Amino acid sequence: MKKHVIGGIVAGALLALASLSAQAQDAIKFGVADEPYPPFASKDASGKWVGFEMDLMDAVCAEMKAKCELVPVAWEGIIPALQAKKIDVIWASMLITEKRKQIIDFSDKYYDTPHMFIGPKSVKVDTCPETGICKDWMKGKVIGVQISTAHANYAKKAFGDVAEVRTYDKQDNVNADLVAGRVDIVLADAVAMDYFLKTDEGKDFEKKGFAPNDPLYGAGVGAGVRKEDATLKENLNAAIKAVRTNGTYKQINDKYFNFDAYGTTPAS
């Protein structure tokens, strides 16, 4: 008997907890990738999320006059999390691509940075304009990318038939395997890679080239929302625009970078 009673209490408690969490609907849940991605988003020593994207998020929320809650979610599952309403906005350096637009909607872009290859200083790499790095050089090499990113898609499209494209769940692990010598070259966001190259670990590596503006790459980084959340998207767009025009964007931008993160890909 005790088992039944206890079992009943447990089940009841779980359902109660579930519905209790349903009450806290006022805050907009911003989903961030649960991994360090400096300088855009990472946890500092005290466990607080800091970075360019975090400051921008605070500014946008202030503009929207809404209460915002930060929810870290595994990058691979961030879109299912949005669909399951675990989060309301994806604010995780997600590129606006056609593929993604088929299932979710995006706000206007809030930054746009180029895509860079990095590799060991000691290895010479040939660059070609069509694909960034020459396909001939890529033969038999291992390219490290993060899974479910436009970088992964581009790498597979451009080099999938000659090189091994190895996907990792976190960008951190890609970098770790680059250092360990398991991958020959890495394709990722230029700014994030720049940050990595300046760290102790990245000192033996350098930029090798840029990926061209392939249509796979879409048009900059935006906030992901569910297709039915049109008002949320409007509010986000308005807030982003406001932040751009009233100078807050520039303030945050200059705190982290000496170039305009909103811009477009560089010439070289």
Query: What residues make contact with another protein under the rule CB under 8 A?
Result: 1, 3-4, 6-7, 10-11, 14, 17-19, 21-22, 24-25, 34, 36, 43, 45, 71-74, 76-77, 79-81, 83-86, 99-100, 102-103, 147-148, 152-153, 166-169, 172, 176, 179-182, 201
Nearer to another protein, 1 or 267 (CB): 1
Nearer to another protein, 13 or 128 (CB): 13
Shortest separation between residue 259's beta carbon and another protein, angstroms: 28
Shortest separation between residue 22's beta carbon and another protein, angstroms: 5
CA dist 9 → 14, 17, 21, 22 (Å) = 8, 12, 18, 20
Shortest separation between residue 198's beta carbon and another protein, angstroms: 16
Shortest separation between residue 249's beta carbon and another protein, angstroms: 29
Shortest separation between residue 69's beta carbon and another protein, angstroms: 11
The pair phi, psi for residue 66, each rounded to 5°, is -120, 160
**Planar angle of CA 214, 266, 262, nearest 5 degrees:** 90
Contact 164, 230 (CB under 8 A): no
- CB atoms inside a 10 Å sphere around CB 250: 13
Nearer to another protein, 148 or 265 (CB): 148
Contact 178, 201 (CB under 8 A): no
Nearer to another protein, 98 or 126 (CB): 98
The pair phi, psi for residue 178, each rounded to 5°, is -65, -45
Query: What SS3 class is residue 170?
Result: coil
